[in-house]
Every structure is written in structure tokens, then in C-alpha cells.
Structure 1
Amino acid sequence: MATTRASRSRRTDSLTRERIIAAAVELLDAQGESGLTFRVLTQRLATGAGAIYWHVANKEELLTAATESVLVAALAREVGGSPEEEIRAVALGLFEAIDDHPWLATQLSTELARNPRGTVAPRIFDAVGRRVRALGVPERGWFTASSALVHYVLGAAGQNVANAGAADPGIDRSAFLDSVSAEWEALDADDFPFASAVAGQMRDHDDREQFLAGVDLVLAGITTVHLSGE
């Protein structure tokens, strides 16, 4: 009996908020948001629900904590060079984090839309905005320029994950793109002149290169609007 009590005490003492969040991230990676339940979490951590509720109040708080945990790691990567290079590094860090954790795209959008007072939204804007400021953008343009970059990064990364999820699990990326490209090429060129014309480019594109090219386009726009003539 004493041994059992001691064992339970050790499990309770070793249960930290960090362990709970790490387990939540693992469940989200494996099964998505629907797979993250307190019942499954208690089984994974070999503890009771009460012990988990001591550290997190509910699933919404746990999702926010898991989101911030992954976000902090993504933004912690070493960056250096010009402000443009740093923005590209931050953007790619977010892109890769969303690629590695597909559930993150929805959660980041949710945090920005429903919980802007939390720490997730300002953390993203600070990572981008400090570099926008370093570009020399005047203060009146900080928020607009940073918003354009943030929304492009999250939108493009989220769409990339959505496209991957829409593909048949039994078909690899190249085969999927080839089939979609073939369907676009078969479209009536009078009704879909642009889509049919770029079908071949879709087949051959690299997701990360295309993503970073988009970042460069946004940066070029920011530079043209805010820095020319300054």
C-alpha cells in the first residue's frame, strides 16, 4: 500500500504544465484537434483528470498553450542579416512549423481572430513588425505593412497544409499535382484562359520557393510604397 501511494505521489509531483502541453502537442500532431480530449490525455500521462485541471482549466486554454509552445519554438530559430533576410527567416520558420503541425494553421487564425488580447497574436506581430520597422518603414505604415506580411504568411502556409490534406493519402505530392495540372490543362481556354495557361507551372513548382517568392513580392510592395521618395 505504501509503495502504491509513493508511486502515485511521484506521478503527481512529476506532472507539470510543460509535460501536459508537450503531450497535447503530440496528440494534436497525431490526431488533430478532435483527438485532443482530456480522457485521452489522462491515459497518455497516466494520471487523473483532476491533476490535469490543476494546471489547465479547459481544452481552450490547453489549445492556446499548445499553440504558443509550437509558435515560440518556431520563432526561436537564429536569424541574422538584413531586415529582409530576417523577415524571410521568420516567415519560413512559421511556414515550416505549420507544415510540421497541420493543426497549427487553424489555431493561429483562431487566436488572431478571437483572442487578439492573448500572447499569440502580439508574438507573431512583434516578430514581423520589429523587422518591418528596421526596414525603415515610417511609423504610420508599421501596422499595415506588418499585417500584410502576417496575413500572407499564415494564409499561404495554411493553404499549403489544406492542399496536402485534400490529396488522396495514397498519392504522393508529385502525382497529385500532376493530376490537378492535367485537369487544368484540359479546361476550356476561352472560359479559363489564365488557369489553363499556368497549369504547367503548378505541376513543377516548389512549395517553399513559391512561398518565399510571395514574401519577396510583399516586401517589394512595402519598399515601393513606404520607402521610395522617403
Structure 2
Amino acid sequence: MPRDALTRDQIVRAAIELLDAEGIEGLNMRALGKRLNSAATAVYWHVKNKDNLVLLATDRVWSDLTLPDPAVDDWRSAATTMATDLHAMFTRHPWLVQVLAAHVVYGEGKARHDDHSLAVYEAAGFTSDQADQATAAVFTYVLGNAAGTAANASLNRKLNEDPAAEEQLKDAMNKAREIAMGYPRLRARLETPAAATYAAAPDRTFETGLGALLDGLEQRFPRTPKQ
């Protein structure tokens, strides 16, 4: 595709597809040009460099998040919806975890989301400082839970690319299990039928932790809901 036939929107969408498939490591202008059926140099007419493209792709997926109306939903429902949608976004696009660790992420989509998140807590009666603390706590919780998904995505790519990686993984998991069996509580869990792997987490772990976090915020911060 010639450069004048490309649009920034096409490039960003193709970059997201490539990032989903190959991660940050797999994103380069040559691979992107191939996906767009265009010369790699044509991409540079629309984006400055790889870092710029990563930020554009990040903000695009952030723009896809739905924002519940705090005037319609109670604050707990709205906060839960936003946190759950954010977690789902990280699950769909696990490369975002790497992006947040290595870039200052900004853009209209993220600003829109962050502003709305603050509005949810302020509408519930949280002060400005309390809303800042609440949104930071929830975001950190969501991001921490998404780290496992990102690690699994990276591991699966490695397993697909390196035939020796599977044996190395099996060896590491066996050693981890062997060590864990020396500790009574870990051993009890590993001996249950539900324990598929050493690192397995119980069902609904994310939902349970999010509910407990919102419970704590509700108890910690006395609120006067806005009229």
C-alpha cells in the first residue's frame, strides 16, 4: 500500500493487532509494513517512531473502555464496572503491562478514562484527595492482577518460538512443586484435584479482591454524596 493510501488509523489498528500477536518485542516497522502490505518507510510519514506508535496504540485501546454514568449507577457498581473493564482490557492486550512499566502513558483516551474514574468517586462523596487515593489503589490492584496474564502471554510466545523452552518450563515447575511440597499449607493445596499447577489461583480471585478493596475504601473514607 503506498504511503499516501495509508492513514494513521489504519497503522494504529494494525499495530494493535501485531502487538496482540507478538508483544512489544514483535513490533517493528518492517513487520508492521508487511501486515499493511506497505513499505516500512511509508509508516514513518504518519508516526515518528516505535515509541510514538506504542503510545498511539495504547491510547486507542484505552478509548474503547465504556464509562458508566455515576448519576445512574451507584458508585460501587460504577467502580466495579470500570475496574472489571480495565482488567479485561489488560487481558485482551497483555502488552499494555509492559508499556506501563516502560513508558509515560498519556493521550485523550486515557485522560477521558482517568477523569471519569475520579468523577465516580467524587460523585459518591469522596473528597478530591480521597478520590485520588481510591483510583490509584484500584488501578494498582487491577494492574497487579493483569501481570500474570502478561507473563503467560510472553511465556506462550517463547514456547512457540523455542522448542527447548517447554522442557525448561517443565523442569522449573517440577522444582517449584518439589520445594512447595516441603511446606504444609502449600502441600495441602497442591494435593487437591483443583490444583492444576503450582501457580494456580482460586476461581473469582480478582472479583473477591476487588470487592474487599472497595469495602475497605467505603469504610475508610466517610462520605457525603453530592446532591
Aligned length: 205
1:30-109 matched pairs, under 5 angstroms: 30-73=21-64, 75-76=65-66, 81-109=73-101
- Cα 1:226/1:184, change in 2 over 3 Å: farther
What displacement does 1:67 show?
Answer: 0.9
Structure 2: how far apart are the matches of 1:225 and 1:151? 18
Could you say which structure has the higher helix fraction?
A: 1
Whether the aligned pair in 1 keeps the contact of 2:12 and 2:57 (CA below 8 Å) is yes
Task: Check the 8 A contact 1:185/1:197 in 2, yes or no.
Answer: no
Contact 1:124 1:150 in 2 (8 A): no
CA displacement at 1:91 relative to structure 2: 1.2
Q: Which residue of 2 aligns with 1:175?
A: none
Equivalent residue number for residue 110 of structure 1: 102
**Alignment match of 1:130 (pick from 98, 116, 119):** 119
Partners of 1:129 and 1:23 lie apart in 2 by 32
**Higher RCO, 1 vs 2 (CA within 8 Å, ≥6 residues apart):** 2
The corresponding residue for 2:211 is: 216
8 Å contact 2:75–2:123 — kept in the other structure? yes
What are the ranges of 5 or more consecutive residues in structure 2 without an aligned counterpart? 161-165, 167-172
TM-score (normalised: structure 1): 0.73
Distance 1:180 1:148 in 2: 34
TM-score by length of 2: 0.74
SS, match of residue 20 in structure 1: helix
Identity of aligned residues (%): 30
- Following the alignment from structure 1 to structure 2, what is the Cα–Cα distance between the partners of residues 131 and 179? 46
How far residue 197 of structure 1 moved from its aligned partner, in angstroms, is 6.1
The C-alpha deviation readout for 1:12-70, integer Å capped at 9, x for no partner, is 44310000011111111111111111111122212233421111000000000111111
| Root-mean-square deviation (Å) | 3.4
